[in-house]
Structure 1
Amino acid sequence: MSFSKGRRKLVFAIVLLLISVVMLSISILNPAQETHLFRKVALESIAPLEGVVNKASAQIAGVWERYIFLVNLGEKNRELVTENHALSKKINDYREIYLEYLRLKELVGLKEKTDYPTVAARVVGRKQSPIFETILIDKGSADGIRVGQPVLAVEGILGKVMEASWHVSKVLLLVDYNSNIDTLIQRGRAHGILQGAGEKGCKLKYVRRTEDVKIGDLVVTSGLAGVFPKGLVLGTVYSVEKKETGLFQEIQISPAVDVTRLEDVLVVLKDKGGQG
Structure 2
Amino acid sequence: MLSLLKRYRRFLFVSVLLLYPLFAFLVTGRRGREPNLLDRALIGMTSPLQSLLNRVIDSAVGAVNHYVDLRGVRQENDALRLENMQLRAAVQALGEARAENDRLKQLLQYAEKAPGPEIPARVVGVNPVAKLLSVRISSGERQGVFQGMSVVTPDGIVGQVIRTTGGYADVALVTDPQSRVGVRVQRSRARGTAAGAGSGPLKLENMLRTEDVEDGDLIITAGTDGVYPPGLIVGRVANLQKREHGMFQAADIIPAVDTTKLEEVLVVGSPYQEAAPMVEGTR
Q: Could you say which TM-score interval applies, normalised by the shorter chain?
A: 0.7 to 0.9
| SS class of match (2:245) | coil
Contact 1:183-1:222 within 8 A present in 2 as well: yes
Which of 1, 5, 13 pairs up with 1:15? 13
Counterpart of 2:67?
A: 67
| SS class of match (1:122) | strand
Q: Give the total of aligned pairs.
A: 265
Contact 2:17-2:42 within 8 A present in 1 as well: no
**Structure 1 residues 64-83: Cα deviation after superposition (integer angstroms, max 9, x where no partner):** 21221111111111111111
Matching residue's letter, 1:98: R
Which stretch has the larger CA shift, 236-245 or 107-116?
Answer: 236-245
Using the TM superposition, give the Cα deviation of residue 129 of structure 1 relative to its aligned residue in structure 2, in angstroms: 3.6
Counterpart of 1:240?
A: 240
TM-score, normalization: structure 1? Answer: 0.82
Counterpart of 2:4?
A: none
Which stretch has the larger CA shift, 177-186 or 258-267?
Answer: 177-186
| SS class of match (2:248) | coil
Let me know the Cα RMSD of the aligned residues: 3.4
- Cα distance, 1:63–1:212 mapped onto 2, change above 3 Å: same
**Structure 1 residues 236-264: Cα deviation after superposition (integer angstroms, max 9, x where no partner):** 11122233332121232222111112211
Counterpart of 1:210?
A: 210
Quote the sequence identity (%): 32
Counterpart of 1:157?
A: 157
TM-score, normalization: structure 2? Answer: 0.80
Counterpart of 2:92?
A: 92
Structure 2 spans left out of the alignment, 5+ residues: 1-8, 279-283
- Cα distance, 1:122–1:28 mapped onto 2, change above 3 Å: closer
- Cα distance, 1:157–1:34 mapped onto 2, change above 3 Å: closer
In structure 1, distance between residues paired with 2:161 and 2:98 = 29
| SS class of match (1:86) | helix
| SS class of match (2:208) | coil
1:201 aligns with 2:201: yes
In structure 2, distance between residues paired with 1:146 and 1:129 = 23
Counterpart of 1:108?
A: 108
Matching residue's letter, 1:59: S
Contact 2:219-2:236 within 8 A present in 1 as well: yes
